[in-house]
Structure 1
């Protein structure tokens, strides 16, 4: 049902049910006929309240608190102006989304990592569910259904005040949702080099009791050792898998839609090359030299055409394996990830 609701054919060639609403600083409640009421120097309804001002360190701001039934189909953010961009804003601003009065958020991640921009670095992302456009325009198109209520918050976990936050949550009010509707989730995780053991796989997601489908991975890797960094395989342990997974990939760059360490031959050397496409991407690389001692890489894979279904459990891991002179070796790097999935609501 949700797939049909989000295909262009059904959206544009059939009568669309529901009622369109939007929540932003100009209409923070999303009420009908209540947008743009605040006045500016130009008068009422003339860009009087376009953003939230001065989010102080430690403060949590509620962006949306809405009761009803429907589907969020677009979320947009931008923070600050380019001339006053502050370090750690993207990693230290935490996005949380709660469905149907739940106490624990179904979505919890730094805003940068959620939008595939790790390392506090903005990069262009041209995927189907996540788009990051000039300049620091963060867009999410994952469909997010809710039966009774949704609440979206932002917390400033940096030491600096966020002077401006612009946002808009676009959603459709519906009379009901199908009984088999599943809810959107996203979870951030991180393991630093000094807390890892050689040969220990990194866990991207572990759900011991859940029913749904896995739809995406964002991975940010800081490599501290030279030579090839991307021989590690991603593994999906599904519905009772213990020692061995049902799905085991062939290498990190392979899973993220590339090959041969994303290297394009140039003057006798392979030059790692970034790219961004609908479902796979390598949008950020801090150094052009594959043998740099320390470098940062951001990658994404969205399983929209190929969701990974699970009936009662799933565990997603990745190895940390490198290669030099034709030989594999275990390595330890900093890894940060965001897992995206849908599951039934308890």
Structure 2
């Protein structure tokens, strides 16, 4: 993995943050503070108004984004405590008018439910406290634009970010061939109550060629008993009634087995984990951020899981649809469930991409 460090590279390195918003060479850390010139004078964006969209990156290519880092407070008041769901991250490649990435900020980094999680995977790393990183390669031919929209009720006091990227002399230096470039996409969806015997749709409407590289699932269970018998299905190219690829269950798809269970003090508990390509980093039935005199911190069980198809990408040449069944099991056997399901699909494809479904408003994205 370090072989590229031993020879001359066909690119130059750049970075954008509030200290150098245009990524210009020799112009970082110029802002002055009470400590003097060039002493941490502009570490973040401040007081982003409700309804405002800020442009974080506006880069002429060809180039490739290699690393993105964010951190922000989870709440502005006790009543307004879903900042990570209320900020919307969007990315546009090569002059697009519709984004290739549209996702609540926290969910993009596997921090669903408006809450932080600790994730130690390859492409997504979220560390204490809310240090959210991604390493998905994001190439572009001519231009890249990244924005964040504040759909929160209050101003965002401080938004910290850094975008690291490369600039190439030409597209061939970036890809090896001018027409061999797949761009990065990510899409958030939610169904607050799934319908019996109707698979939840993680992704559809994909036309073109590319490969599917990951799933993040933010599941709130609304029924009792075991929830994870549903199979992930990948309908590839000409598939109609039945998919080409199907998992054997939900916990199986995320790399676990037997309900993630272990025995502890005479009772069964689920085990969370985080690995390079798959994980179950978040489980909670309590939310201390919302405790007050008016309500307690009990929530329906919430589970965050991810699976990265990096060594095993799902390749498609014409189209792709991804779904997951809502099936549980109990003493009576398997049964159709109704739960609250949200997800992020991550994939690469050639452009143009199909239109995304309308993103639900902030109130409709609020976790239970």
Same fold, TM-score > 0.5, yes or no: yes
Query: Per-residue displacement from partner, 1:187-222 (whole Å, max 9, x unpaired)?
Result: 0001011xx321110000013422100000000111
Matched-pair contact (CA < 8 Å) for 2:233–2:323: yes
Give the match for residue 47 of structure 2.
54
How far apart are 1:34 and its partner, in Å?
1.1
How far apart are 1:20 and its partner, in Å?
0.4
Alignment pair present for 1:132 and 2:126: yes
Which of residues 59, 67, 75 in structure 1 aligns to 2:68? 75
Give the match for residue 173 of structure 1.
167
Matched-pair contact (CA < 8 Å) for 2:212–2:348: yes
SS of residue paired to 2:2 = helix
Alignment map for 1:1-346 (pairs within 5 Å)? 8-80=1-73, 87-175=81-169, 176=171, 177-178=174-175, 179-193=179-193, 196-287=194-285, 294-325=300-331, 327-346=333-352
Alpha-carbon RMSD across the aligned residues, in angstroms, is 1.7
In the alignment, the residues of structure 2 paired with residue 265 and residue 220 of structure 1 have an alpha-carbon distance, to the nearest angstrom, of 25
How far apart are 1:71 and its partner, in Å?
0.8
How far apart are 1:265 and its partner, in Å?
2.0
In the alignment, the residues of structure 1 paired with residue 299 and residue 182 of structure 2 have an alpha-carbon distance, to the nearest angstrom, of 43
In structure 2, the CA distance between the partners of 1:28 and 1:48, relative to structure 1 (3 Å rule), is: same
With the length of structure 2 as denominator, give the TM-score of the two structures. 0.88
Query: Per-residue displacement from partner, 1:146-186 (whole Å, max 9, x unpaired)?
Result: 11111110001111211000100000111223231110000
In the alignment, the residues of structure 2 paired with residue 273 and residue 130 of structure 1 have an alpha-carbon distance, to the nearest angstrom, of 20
Query: Per-residue displacement from partner, 1:13-65 (whole Å, max 9, x unpaired)?
Result: 33222100000000001111111111111221111111000011111111111
SS of residue paired to 1:261 = helix
In the alignment, the residues of structure 2 paired with residue 316 and residue 282 of structure 1 have an alpha-carbon distance, to the nearest angstrom, of 20
SS of residue paired to 2:285 = coil
In the alignment, the residues of structure 2 paired with residue 287 and residue 38 of structure 1 have an alpha-carbon distance, to the nearest angstrom, of 44
Is there any run of 5+ residues in structure 2 with no aligned partner, and where? 287-297, 353-368
Is there any run of 5+ residues in structure 1 with no aligned partner, and where? 1-7
SS of residue paired to 2:28 = coil
Say how many residue pairs are matched.
Answer: 334
In the alignment, the residues of structure 2 paired with residue 247 and residue 136 of structure 1 have an alpha-carbon distance, to the nearest angstrom, of 35
In the alignment, the residues of structure 2 paired with residue 143 and residue 326 of structure 1 have an alpha-carbon distance, to the nearest angstrom, of 47
In the alignment, the residues of structure 1 paired with residue 130 and residue 3 of structure 2 have an alpha-carbon distance, to the nearest angstrom, of 31
